[in-house]
Amino acid sequence: MNSPDHGVGWAGVNPDEGTPALEGAVATVLRVGVLASCGVIAAGTVLTLVARSSRDAAAHSLRGLRRGVLHPAPLHFPHTISGLAHGLAHGDGPSLALLGVLLLIATPVLRVTVSVVGYVLERDRAFVVITAVVLAILLASFALA
C-alpha cells in the first residue's frame, strides 16, 4: 500500500494527477450553466421592462410612492410549472427570468450528474457511490420541497 509520503491520497488517487477530462467537463457545465442562466435572466428582465403592462404597473407604483404609499408593481409572476410554461409561451418577461433562475438552480445538479457519469467511466467505485448519494440527496430535496 502506498504511504502518504509518496503523494497518494486517501482513496489511492494521486491528487497531482487528477482527472483532467472530468474536471474539464465539470468546469464547462458550471461555466455554461451560469452564463446561460445570466443571459436568460437578463433577457427576462429587459422583456419585463419594455412590456407596456410593466411600464403601466411601474407608473402606478410611482404615483403611489409620490403620495407616500409603497405598493409593489402588480406583475404576474408564475408560481407553478404550468404557469411558467404558459408565461413562456406568451413571451412573459417574469416567466423568462424565472426560467433563468431555475437554470441556475439546475446547474449544480447537472454538475453532480456529470461527475457520476465521469466516475462510472473511470471505474472509480468509491466516488461513484459518494457522488450518487449526493445526487440522490439533491433530487430528494427538490422532490420534497
Look-up of cell digits 439533491: 138
CA–CA gap between residue 86 and residue 92 (Å, rounded): 9
Give how many domains the chain has, as a whole number: 1
The reply to whether 112 falls in a domain is: yes
> Counting beta carbons within 10 angstroms of the beta carbon of residue 24, is it exposed (0 to 12), middle (13 to 18) or buried (19 or more)?
exposed
Mean pLDDT, consecutive 10-residue segments, the chain of 145 residues?
Answer: 45 54 87 96 90 73 71 73 92 92 94 92 90 94 86
All cell numbers assigned to 79: 408560481
Domain limits for position 113: 20-144
Q: 0.75 cut: is pTM over it?
A: no
The reply to whether 51 falls in a domain is: yes
